[in-house]
Chains A and B, each alone.
Chain A
Amino acid sequence: AQKVTQAQTEISVVEKEDVTLDCVYETRDTTYYLFWYKQPPSGELVFLIRRNSFDEQNEISGRYSWNFQKSTSSFNFTITASQVVDSAVYFCALSEPTMDTGRRALTFGSGTRLQVQP
């Protein structure tokens, strides 16, 4: 069965610091997707990124960057020059086919709460 571990329960940084959120996953499948979602204090879940298992190229989007390393089953998320608006709970998630039907369901980690202090 799939599993996603976010060992950091809560991180607190001061504005403009860089911060990395860790994500480690377990899967038996060779084809899967990895995701990061953001949940700000307002409660909605906001999609940030999706990576497929065949593409290990790191991705950068503004102040956000993602480091996918298949060898260590990790998909870490770095925020550069953090801002107060980055304060949120961040979830890493894994999508793989279910065993019988090939349908995909998303498994979430327990989340990392990031607090950015001014």
Chain B
Amino acid sequence: NAGVTQTPKFQVLKTGQSMTLQCAQDMNHNSMYWYRQDPGMGLRLIYYSASEGTTDKGEVPNGYNVSRLNKREFSLRLESAAPSQTSVYFCASSGRRQGVPTGELFFGEGSRLTVL
């Protein structure tokens, strides 16, 4: 009963390095999301994927790329990390009720990223 699993849980990068955050869900959800959480700003949507093969920008997409590898997996890539990307990243997924997306999110445990 894993739900949403994201890795790694902690990562320290130097400015300019690249890395990929991995996320997988086992609830057969169509929609997946990446959020970042910064102090005093709540959670802000980076990218989301409504279904396999589709991705869309959220509120703060600059500096990130995503891949919806299959229905289960949705990865977030930082090509050239910057200190402004120091944050806690949450992956989430959501399903449907009677065929309609509900928007109710199931979250992973978060990944704390520090960019020096």
Contact = CB atoms under 8 A, between A and B. Distances in A.
A106 B42 contact: no
B43 A108 contact: yes
Interface stretch (A41-49, A54-62, A66-74): A41-49
B78 interface: no
A24 to B, nearest CB: 14
Contacts of A107: 45
A101 to B, nearest CB: 7
B74 to A, nearest CB: 14
A45 B50 CA distance: 21
A98 B56 contact: yes
Given A43-B109, A45-B90, A105 B103 contact: yes
Interface in B81-116: 88, 90, 92, 94, 101-107, 109-110
B102 A106 contact: no
A105 B31 CA distance: 9
Contact of B43 (A50, A91, A98, A103): A91
Interface of B: 31, 33, 35, 40-45, 48, 50, 56, 58, 88, 90, 92, 94, 101-107, 109-110
Interface of A: 4, 6, 9, 33, 35, 37, 43-45, 47, 50, 91, 95-96, 98, 101, 103-111
